[in-house]
Amino acid sequence: MSDLHTGTRDQLRAFVERVERLEEEKAALTADLKEVYAEAKSMGFDVKTLRTIVRIRKQDANERQEAEALLDTYMIALGMVPSDESEQFSEPVQTAQASSPAQAGEGDASQDDEAAA
């Protein structure tokens, strides 16, 4: 370490101190988040659902719609949605993919291809 110039040592020390400050701030923010979730839980809210909502709200609208459509497709394929509800779920996916009535019948095959990809 004695080979390092004074300027280099000072830069290294500055980087280390910045990282340490940021780690302290991160710990404080983590504690604050924990408090907020604890408060929400004490008011009767489900913390797991709140975390899911926060994660979803961070997503781009198109990304979220694609993820929801894919989830619906998988749930339907696995029989996790009753048949009357599966029609409700599958219609928006087909409508979004079909640009003409001729392509509407092809929507199911393209969904299967996308699901496999």
User: What's the mean pLDDT in 8-13?
Assistant: 94
* Residues 63-87 as b or e (16 or more Cβ within 10 Å = b): eeeeeebeebbeebeeeebeeeebe
The answer to whether residue 28 scores a pLDDT higher than 60 is: yes
pLDDT range class, residue 60, cuts 50, 70, 90:
very high
Q: With 80 as the cut, is the pLDDT of residue 98 above it?
A: no
DSSP 45-77: --HHHHHHHHHHHHS-HHHHHHHHHHHHHHHHH
Q: What is the mean pLDDT of the chain?
A: 80
Does residue 14 register a pLDDT over 50?
Answer: yes
Supply the pLDDT for residue 109: 44
Contact in structure between 94 and 108 (CB atoms under 8 Å)? yes
At 87 the pLDDT is 60
pLDDT at site 5: 85
- Is the per-residue pLDDT at 112 higher than 60? no
Confidence class of residue 22 from pLDDT cuts 50, 70 and 90? very high
Sequence-separated (6 or more) residues with CB below 8 Å from residue 73: 90, 93, 111, 115
Band (19; pLDDT cuts 50, 70, 90):
very high
